[in-house]
């Protein structure tokens, strides 16, 4: 989890910080992120605003922490896929499906959290950039593994292959696009994976 250095504390305070994140998560889930002020949040949690500011220097810092939790869950799912005993093409396919499913799930069942993730991307929060980097590094790992095993072509510079695939994932993972294509998301994820795998053929 990424935090502002100014908000860091020892182990006891660490627990308190986690409590604040959990309570803020619940509050944002119910009332939304944009409408809530730090004062509203402090009141709902039963803490003073000043005390809350000891851990986070802004509402955005709390939003970032929650956003990172969402991303961590998604990354854990994808990392599980990467460690499975399956071929690199299957790993790519499952990564695409996982992104699409998680995104749709957040949108359908946890709409207000989906809105926070959308804000994070729109406003280029650190949490969103870190997630992009992590996802990109997972994709690079799968491509390199596929190249080693002779499953994927080796001519395209790895940076380019990786960037192009990351871009091609946008329609199934960007909150705005995902929302627009919700009905065809599963088929779209499969079709994009197929296109990417054809592009990787040796």
Q: Judged by CB under 8 A, does residue 196 bind a copy of itself? A: yes
Q: What are phi and psi of 155, to 5 degrees?
A: -75, -40
Q: Judged by CB under 8 A, does residue 199 bind a copy of itself? A: yes
Q: Judged by CB under 8 A, does residue 50 bind a copy of itself? A: no
Q: Which residues contact 53 (CB under 8 A, 6 or more apart)?
A: 38
Instruction: Considering only the stretches 39-47, 55-63, 87-95, 180-188, report the one whose residues sit in contact with a copy of itself under the rule CB under 8 A.
Output: 180-188
Q: Judged by CB under 8 A, does residue 100 bind a copy of itself? A: no
Rounded CA-CA distance 49/150 in Å is 58
Closest C-alpha among 34, 13, 5 to residue 116: 34
Closest C-alpha among 126, 136, 199 to residue 167: 136
CA angle, corner 124, sides to 123 and 125, nearest 5?
Answer: 95
Chosen residue from 177, 182, 183, 186 binding a copy of itself by CB under 8 A: 177
Q: Which is nearer to a copy of itself, 62 or 92 (CB)?
A: 92
- Where residue 36 falls (left for φ over 0; alpha for ψ -120 to 50; beta otherwise) is beta
For 128, the 3-state DSSP assignment is helix
Q: Which is nearer to a copy of itself, 51 or 180 (CB)?
A: 180
Contact characters 121-160, a copy of itself, x per CB under 8 A:
xx-x----------------------------x--x---x
Q: Report the interface residues with a copy of itself, using CB under 8 A.
A: 121-122, 124, 153, 156, 160-161, 163-165, 167-168, 170-171, 174, 176-177, 180-181, 188, 191-192, 194-196, 198-201
């Amino acid at each position: 989890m990424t935090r502002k250095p100014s908000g860091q504390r020892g182990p006891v305070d660490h627990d308190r910080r986690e409590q604040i994140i959990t309570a803020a998560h619940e509050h944002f889930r119910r009332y939304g992120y944009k409408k809530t002020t730090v004062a509203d949040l402090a009141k709902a949690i039963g803490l003073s605003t000043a005390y809350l500011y000891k851990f986070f220097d802004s509402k955005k810092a709390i939003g970032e922490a929650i956003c990172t939790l969402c991303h961590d869950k998604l990354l854990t799912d994808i990392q599980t896929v990467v460690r499975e005993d399956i071929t690199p093409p299957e790993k790519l396919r499952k990564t695409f499906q996982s992104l699409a499913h998680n995104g749709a799930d957040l949108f359908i069942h946890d709409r207000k959290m989906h809105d926070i993730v959308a804000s994070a991307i729109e406003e280029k929060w650190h949490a969103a950039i870190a997630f992009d980097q992590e996802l990109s590094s997972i994709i690079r790992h799968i491509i390199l593994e596929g190249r080693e095993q002779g499953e994927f072509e080796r001519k395209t510079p790895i940076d380019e292959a990786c960037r192009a695939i990351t871009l091609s994932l946008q329609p199934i993972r960007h909150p705005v696009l995902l929302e627009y294509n919700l009905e065809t998301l599963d088929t779209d994820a499969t079709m994009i994976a197929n296109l990417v795998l054809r592009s990787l053929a040796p």
